[in-house]
Structure 1
Amino acid sequence: MTPTKISETSKGVYIIAATPFTDSGELDLESTDSLTDFYLEKGVTGFTILGMMGEAPKLTEAETLTVMDRVLKRVGTRAPVVVGVSHASNRHVERLSKTAMDQGAAGVMLAPVANLKTDEQVFNYYATVAKLLGPEIPICLQDFPQSTGVHMSVSVIHKLIDDFSQVVMLKHEDFPGMRKLSEVREQSMAAGRRRISVLVGNGGLFLPQEMLRGADGAMTGFAYPEMLVQVCKLFDGGRNEEAEDLFNVYLPLLRHEFQYGIGLALRKETLKRRGAIRSAYVRRPGPMLNGTDMAELGRLIQRLERRLAELA
């Protein structure tokens, strides 16, 4: 059975998967398996692997292929898997994208290369890659200017949607970007344009507001993915107030995990404490938590668990 490809109607939670390492910094494939199972048990709709949170730039090409093969085989047909293929080399993007699709991926996620300054440059970059990949490989545009330094305007997003049918999803991660999300939806509707899937990132920090502005779900890596799943389902069912109340229970920990600099280390430590991975190691160069950081995180987790017990 062939896995379902991502499409304009994709929605729900596509978890940004961490890449587990051992305490010495080597790939931990047993933890890759246990983390994959953890995400599935929490009810995620799909996966996004080898993204920025997955520390993809720190992996060798051989390690990239190993992680991709391991996750795709573990997930099988149970959920769609989007593979991050962003790279400075178009040839690398093409090779990895085609390999991923041959092995059962549902699509690829692509951020613009650095130093694109104009709308024309951004459009031409994506146009070139889209032609290389062909119409059979679904593309998720990753709009993450805080990391790439590239601003993707609403007009460029719409032109790419109009010109390339394989552009089926936007990972919306501009910051602040809620007005941009509204403009994408409103201008698209006004023009009778093809509606694509929009999944939001930024740790899920603004998920309730973004869902109300037209997002279809989340593509982020919060260490309590069951919250993201439940909130998106509640919004999808029109139970908006209930969704936001639930979100607010997790907000202190979610906000803490979102910190630039040490956020990934906090996320991995939480996943370790939840039994999903064996080591919280972040490959160097990367953040390390000190004793105060660890105690602070533990206190927030305890407060969350106590509150969840009260609600239960």
Structure 2
Amino acid sequence: MTVQPLAPGVWGVLATPLTPDAAAVDTASLTRQVQHYVRIGATGLTVLGVFGEAARLTPDERRTVAATVAAAAPDLPLVIGLSALDAEAACAEAANVLDVLGRPPAGLMVHVGSPDPDAVVRQLNTVAERTGQGIVVQDYPVVSGVSIATADLVAAVRRVPAAVAVKSESSPSPPAVAALVAGLSVPVFGGLGGTGLLDELAVGSAGAMTGFSVPEGLLACVTAYREGGFGAAREVWRDYLPLVNFEFQAGIALALRKHSLVHRGLIDTPAVRPPAAAAPEALLPVLREHLARTPHASADRVGR
């Protein structure tokens, strides 16, 4: 197969908007969210990632999400997330959605499924060979439950010819990103809500792949770093960082970000599916304070 490394920049990780009772996917809101990413100039989109609650969607709902995004962003490259750690199950997830895209994805994002680099090589090569797609290797131990030493991950990715990128979300992220960049020829992206973005850029990351509710800030920071270096990016990023930190709270990050997206007019309701927790009511006024002071985020009702 012929694969291309992911382009550097900002790959937005999409939330999956739900109806108020969380019983179904809200495709109108999803379309509006995607169209916003198109308008602001995102490099690409990540569909069915952790932020997209993919593990809590039915196979039919995953197809709906993939088809909706592909139709709303016909010119943007798409990374499709796979939730399963087992290679066979991951291949089944991929087969369920690939036919509705209308074009090949830029890559399939696959969680590292073992701390053993040999097992990881078998896992990733199996998915690549069975699907015929490039692989974005996702190292996110908090979600997957799998911790792999960074040196072992480097060794594994080197043996995966179809690797097109690594998404590094192992804390602390900047040292991991630095080691991956030094040891690999494919681009390395940070995630974790953008909490380490500036430092990740400073050690060589290719950009951001995350679901921060104000992706304009991610784009501004990455562009400023590319054009003016660390100092310029720091000046830009400091206006967004309080909201980045507020949204990325363990256990309630998803709900907080969805509330932010509702505030911005990008989705209609903040509903999440268990085991995700709803946002505490006491924090919603604080969220509004942050949004009011964040560029692009104050009740602008974008897309309305």
Does the alignment reach a TM-score above 0.5?
A: yes
Q: Larger deviation: 203-212 or 120-129?
A: 120-129
Query: What amino acid is aligned across from residue 201 of structure 2 in structure 1?
Result: M
- In the alignment, what sits opposite 2:17? 20
Matched, 1:163 2:159: yes
Query: What amino acid is aligned across from residue 277 of structure 2 in structure 1?
Result: P
Query: What amino acid is aligned across from residue 129 of structure 1 in structure 2?
Result: V
Q: Quick check: 1:85–1:109 contact (8 Å CA) kept in 2? A: yes
- In the alignment, what sits opposite 2:87? 90
Q: Quick check: 1:97–1:133 contact (8 Å CA) kept in 2? A: yes
| Cα displacement (A) at 1:306 | 10
- In the alignment, what sits opposite 1:107? 107
Query: What amino acid is aligned across from residue 248 of structure 2 in structure 1?
Result: F
- In the alignment, what sits opposite 1:41? 39
Q: Larger deviation: 154-163 or 236-245?
A: 154-163
- In the alignment, what sits opposite 2:140? 144
Q: Quick check: 1:146–1:175 contact (8 Å CA) kept in 2? A: no
Q: Secondary structure at the match of 2:240?
A: helix
Matched, 1:154 2:150: yes
Give % identity.
30
* Partner residue of 1:68 out of 46, 66, 69: 66
Q: Larger deviation: 290-299 or 166-175?
A: 290-299
Distance 1:177 1:89, change over 3 A: closer
Distance 1:96 1:117, change over 3 A: closer
| Cα displacement (A) at 1:131 | 3.2
Matched, 1:11 2:4: no
Q: TM-score, normalised by structure 1?
A: 0.87
| Cα displacement (A) at 1:220 | 0.3
Partners in 1 of 2:162 and 2:120 — Cα distance?
17
| Cα displacement (A) at 1:146 | 1.6
Q: Secondary structure at the match of 1:219?
A: strand
Query: What amino acid is aligned across from residue 124 of structure 2 in structure 1?
Result: Y
- In the alignment, what sits opposite 2:191? 201
- In the alignment, what sits opposite 1:191? none
Structure 1: 5+ residue stretches without partners: 189-194
Matched, 1:237 2:235: no
Query: What amino acid is aligned across from residue 261 of structure 2 in structure 1?
Result: L
- In the alignment, what sits opposite 1:292? 282
- In the alignment, what sits opposite 2:301? none
- In the alignment, what sits opposite 1:121? 119
Partners in 2 of 1:162 and 1:239 — Cα distance?
29
| Cα displacement (A) at 1:69 | 0.8
Partners in 2 of 1:298 and 1:211 — Cα distance?
29
Distance 1:80 1:306, change over 3 A: closer
Distance 1:90 1:122, change over 3 A: closer
Q: TM-score, normalised by structure 2?
A: 0.89
Residues 95-136 of structure 1: CA deviation (Å, up to 9, x unaligned): 4334544422221100034xx3433333333233333234xx
Q: Quick check: 1:6–1:80 contact (8 Å CA) kept in 2? A: no
Q: Larger deviation: 23-32 or 282-291?
A: 282-291
Query: What amino acid is aligned across from residue 196 of structure 2 in structure 1?
Result: F
Matched, 1:253 2:237: no
RMSD of aligned alpha carbons? 2.2
Q: Quick check: 1:119–1:153 contact (8 Å CA) kept in 2? A: no
| Cα displacement (A) at 1:145 | 1.1
| Cα displacement (A) at 1:303 | 2.7
Distance 1:60 1:244, change over 3 A: same
| Cα displacement (A) at 1:24 | 1.1
- In the alignment, what sits opposite 1:192? none
Structure 2: 5+ residue stretches without partners: 299-304
| Cα displacement (A) at 1:293 | 1.4
Distance 1:159 1:127, change over 3 A: farther
Query: What amino acid is aligned across from residue 271 of structure 1 in structure 2?
Result: L
| Cα displacement (A) at 1:22 | 1.0
